A = this chain, B = another copy of it.
């Protein structure tokens, strides 16, 4: 199962000291969060944007599996824990002012809870807001509902 994949994709951060150095460079906001964009490392597709707190970021770096902070559930959100649609971390980039992360990932299956590859699937066409892509997976199956 993909969620048991080893964290062999993050050779750059083997030790706690290096990981702490990166975490310390992040400027978390007043809620203790930092925005993280997930991009498929080889295709360049922007998959989603979500939030990390310090613990989520540390866990992401330590395990090589991307973990967010769910603001709606107020809990760690180990991406793919329920759905199996995990994000393996390839590299983590920090922006110029330290308040946004770009995670280059290898996305298993789909990133979006609607079953679409990317969350950014809506756009205006003519005078209507339309879905540009169709679901590739059935959310009911992904989430066992």
Contacts and interface: CB of A to CB of B under 8 A. Distances in A.
A123 B91 contact: yes
Contacts of A102: 46, 120
A3 to B, nearest CB: 22
A27 interface: no
Count identical subunits in the complex: 2
Main secondary structure of the interface of A (DSSP, over half): mixed
Interface residues of A, number: 43
Nearest to A48: B95
Given A37-B46, A43-B44, A49-B35, A18 B93 contact: no
18 contacts: A18-B124, A18-B126, A18-B127, A19-B124, A21-B128, A22-B124, A22-B129, A25-B122, A25-B129, A35-B35, A46-B46, A93-B120, A93-B122, A94-B129, A95-B120, A96-B114, A96-B122, A102-B120
